Amino acid sequence: MPDYCVFILRFLLFAAVHSLFAATRVKGAVGRLCHGEPRGYRLFYNLLSLALFGWVMAAFGSSPVLYFAPGAWSLVMYLAQLVCGMILVDCVRRTGAGDFLGIRQLRRTPDGPHQLVTGGYYALVRHPLYLFSIAFLLLNPVMTAQWLLLTGLSALYFVIGALIEERRLLEEFGDQYRQYRQAVPFIIPRWKTIRPEDGRH
């Protein structure tokens, strides 16, 4: 089987497992079996996702280079990737790095309820993590066949994941999220920047 077919199949399996373990019903079922969601669930989920992603990226023995940015353009694109990386770190910080990594859940006494984050880059689009992750992938100055497939499949998966996440956020925050959704675009920013009131998620 060609490398690109193996890569696509592995990515689809990764996406299926990643989405399955993130589903509210699955977490609820695990919680019922364990008499409460295990404190290490999120951390296990992240480690499993990381291992599966490494398995996906190992699909290509050697991937042909489709193009590379010449001279100074390469440096510009690497710098732009660095900026995207810094923005992603800021987005994770705003929503709670401990929550994102699964560290906070290891505590015996959890923090209070989540609050909706609407400030910073979340005032630009509702899903800045996905937007700047796609930008990071697109800005790679050395584009291989593997990286191009990763970029396309990831962009599609991010959009689908964002739509699923919207349903969960509507259930959790109700009218507050409906108002936020009306004021702030989905994943493509508008020229006019809207700044809703800052908050926590």
Q: For the ranges 34-38, 121-125, 182-186, 191-195, which has the lowest average pLDDT? A: 191-195
3-183: CATH architecture:
Up-down Bundle (1.20)
Q: What are all long-range contacts of 86-95, with beta carbons under 8 Å and residues at least 24 apart?
A: 87/121, 87/128, 87/132, 88/129, 88/132, 88/133, 88/136, 90/120, 90/121, 91/120, 91/121, 91/122, 91/128, 91/129, 91/132, 92/129, 94/119, 94/120, 94/121, 94/122, 94/200, 94/201, 95/200, 95/201
* Residue 185 identity: P
pLDDT tens digits for 19-29? Answer: 988 887 877 78
- The DSSP-derived string for 12-27 is HHHHHHHHHHHSHHHH
Report the percentage of the chain scoring pLDDT > 90.
57
Q: For the ranges 20-24, 59-63, 104-108, which has the lowest average pLDDT? A: 104-108
pLDDT of residue 118 exceeding 70, the answer is yes
pLDDT of residue 200 exceeding 60, the answer is no
pLDDT-derived band at 109, boundaries 50, 70, 90: low
The confidence score (pLDDT) of residue 36 equals 66
pLDDT-derived band at 42, boundaries 50, 70, 90: confident
pLDDT of residue 63 exceeding 70, the answer is yes
The confidence score (pLDDT) of residue 35 equals 67
pLDDT tens digits for 141-196? Answer: 999 999 999 999 999 999 999 998 999 899 889 999 999 999 999 999 987 654 44
The confidence score (pLDDT) of residue 110 equals 54
The confidence score (pLDDT) of residue 153 equals 96
Domain boundaries, the chain: 3-183
Across residues 106-123, what is the average pLDDT?
A: 75
Q: For the ranges 14-23, 92-101, 121-130, 189-198, which has the lowest average pLDDT? A: 189-198
Q: Which of 135, 11, 125, 118 is nearest to 82 (CA)?
A: 135
